[in-house]
Amino acid sequence: MLTDYLKAALRQARYEKLPDDGQYYGEIPQCNGVYATAAALEDCRDELEEVLEEWVLFRVHRNLPLPVIDGIELAVKEQAV
């Protein structure tokens, strides 16, 4: 399920070439703060994927909500001990 979530989020990514320095900028609008820049588009995609993974892990660790993406919901559920 985690892999499906990450793939779905990356499909929502938007990329653009910045006019000032020619760098590529990528972001996932549904995931506030998930963005990356790099000289090449593929490098930008790789960096964005890494940022997304860290963002998801941080939010899970802090028990913060994650957006539903393409109908996929990741939620930490409490287990009875």
Structural domain contains residue 68? no
Residue 80's pLDDT is 62
d(CA 35, CA 4): 19
| pLDDT tens digit sequence for 2-36 | 999 999 999 999 999 999 999 999 999 999 999 99
Structural domain contains residue 69? no
CATH number, domain with residue 9: 3.30.160.250
**Number of domains within the chain:** 1
| pLDDT tens digit sequence for 35-65 | 999 999 999 999 999 999 999 999 999 999 9
- What range does the domain containing 14 cover? 2-61
d(CA 8, CA 22): 27
Structural domain contains residue 56? yes
